[in-house]
Amino acid sequence: MLKFGIDVGGTNTDATILNDKDQVIATVKTHTTADIETGIYDAIKKVLLDFSIDPTEISQAMLGTTQATNAIVERKNLATVGVIRIGYPATASVMPYTEWPQDMITALTGKAALVHGGYEFNGDPIVNFDPTEIYDILNSWKGKVESLAIIGVFSALNDDQEQKAAQLAKEVLGADIPISLSSTIGTIGLIQRENATILNAALVKVIKRVTKGFAAALADYGITQATSYLCQNDGTLMSLEFATKYPILTIGSGPTNSIRGAAYLSNLQDAMVLDIGGTTSDIGVLTNGFPRESSRAITVGGIKTSFRMPDVLSIGLGGGSVVHKDAQGKITVGPDSVGYKITDEAICFGGQTITATDIAVKLLGVKLGNPQLTKQIDNDLAKKAMAIIQARLSDAIDQMKTNAGKVDLILVGGGSIIVASALVGVAKIYSNKYGKVANAIGATIAQVGGQYEKIYQYANLDRRIALADAAELAKKQAIVAGADPKTIKIIEVNEVPLAYAPGETTRVKVKVVGELA
């Protein structure tokens, strides 16, 4: 049986097919289209026809998509969200949507209510929880909200008030109302966890369209025997059903797919990954075969959030980046790019715009388009542009290092042709003929993941019991996401003592992975 993976990038939509031994047997690269869906259809059609693939032989289909990110950035197709924060009066000084861009609040029609409840850091109630208060608010929101975000103070320690509020919501607004609970999405910090929960609630319509569209595209081309998955932002997969509950986990899946694909192609478990596309270069770190997770607050569409995301640095430099020379003779490269129009506008393809790809064709001997056309590019301009390209890439790699030593670098992405044979601070560069579609390969070979984070007080609960509990919760999440219970293994356990809290209070995070069920 075959595995089929698609990754939608800003410039290209890539597809790949692996056999039952996880060997690559087919790859294609097509242009990403403005409506996204057309590009997916094109990629499916091309890979099936070009390689004479029998669609009934495909048993698993994976999609990495940017649609959730695009919806937030563009403020389009978002659900009307009702926000219930359980934390009055303790949190009244900072209301929901504080510091949000006004256009985003308008897009969500930002309804929010603050109700009594919440917990102290030691698990004691702040004030009594009042179900009647929530019941009245929900009744006033009937017909006015499409999705709910429920956030409780220190719900990572005790989520029972969030659960009670969710049950009330189903009774008042109907069993089908989408509900996002902050205890299942973010980490400890209230405001950033709340922001992530609101965004998750806002994306429910987008993800339904994505899952239905993906299923329809597969069916239209006869791929009817496959179980479908979406890619998560930690380098693992989740079932379409799980994705409809946690659409925010698709944000950032593109870079993680590339990092996982790079690990597969290089057989390395620890290295730095440079993924160069048509518009940007993403630098990530491979740790134990998976992307290194960011420890910083992530800003999505101008909103600070708190949920798991890969530690990736993006710079405005890619194969389609435009080379400029101003009136004073100063040369710059990017951040503007010809993107998917490179085959029309770049010099080596007969166009009139000098791009980073043209510089690589002229100076590095890259065989692309018509190399003879790049002779019209001034030699001095080309050398200076190349020096700028290599310096920017070296600086970006240096920013992602944790020490001053040289690192191994895995080079992937369609724009990787712009990299010279050596970079400052890099010990060895690894590449592969399939590196141009590493993102699609990463989607195809991914396992199903589960991650859980919870606060425990070791003074009141034995550490071994706490770790076992967190591991079990992570395993349950992986099973719900589509993992085979028999194959699940723990790949990361992280304990962070909370110095400001008594009783040896510790934040425990466990990550697990398993094979597709």
3-class secondary structure per residue, 89-106: CCCCCCCCCCCCCHHHHH
Please name the residue ranges forming H helices in 401-516.
438-445, 463-481
Among 296, 320, 326, 322, smallest CA distance to 309 is for 296
pLDDT score, position 297: 67
Strands (E), 65-131: 81-88, 111-116
For the chain, the residue count is 517
Q: What's the token pair of residue 517?
A: 């069920």
Identify whether the C-beta of residue 223 lies closer than 8 Å to the C-beta of residue 249: no
Query: Are 145 and 81 within 8 A, CB to CB?
Result: yes
Query: Which residue type is seen at 303?
Result: I
Q: Which residues of the chain have pLDDT under 70?
A: 10, 297, 307-308
Short-list 16, 3, 23, 198, CA closest to 98: 198
pLDDT attached to residue 363: 92
81, two tokens: 């969200």
CB atoms within 10 A of CB 464: 9
- Tokens encoding 112: 């929010």
Q: Which helix (H) or strand (E) holds 427?
A: strand 426-430
Of 419, 413, 442, 446, the closest CA to residue 11 belongs to 413
Residue 407, pLDDT score = 92
For residues 360 and 366, the answer to whether their CB atoms sit within 8 Å is: yes
Q: What are 27-73's pLDDT values in tens digits?
A: 998 887 777 788 888 999 999 999 999 999 999 999 988 778 778 87
Q: Which two tokens stand for residue 202?
A: 């806002």
Return the pLDDT at 179. Answer: 96
User: Could you tell me which of 87, 123, 90 has the C-alpha nearest to residue 502?
Assistant: 123
CA dist 482 to 112, 479, 486, Å? 34, 5, 12
Strand 312-315 relative to strand 281-287: parallel, antiparallel, unpaired?
A: antiparallel
The helix-helix angle for 160-173 and 131-140 (nearest 10°) equals: 40
Buried b (16+ CB within 10 A) or exposed e, 63-81: bbbbbbbbbbeebeebbbb
**Residue 89, preceding peptide bond in cis (omega within 30° of 0):** yes
* Residue position matching structure tokens 């999705």: 147
Q: What angle do CA 306, 308, 311 make, to 5 degrees?
A: 105
- Bridge partners of 450? 512
Listed residue (359, 349, 350) closest to 322, CA to CA = 359
Could you tell me the pTM of the whole model? 0.81
What whole-number distance in Å separates Cα of residue 177 and Cα of residue 166?
Answer: 10
In angstroms, the Cα distances linking 256 to 168, 224, 440 are 37, 27, 11
In angstroms, how far is CA 218 from the centroid of its own chain?
A: 22
Buried b (16+ CB within 10 A) or exposed e, 133-170: bbeebbeebeeebbbbbbbbbbbbbbbebbebbbebbe
Bridge partners of residue 312, in order along the sequence: 284
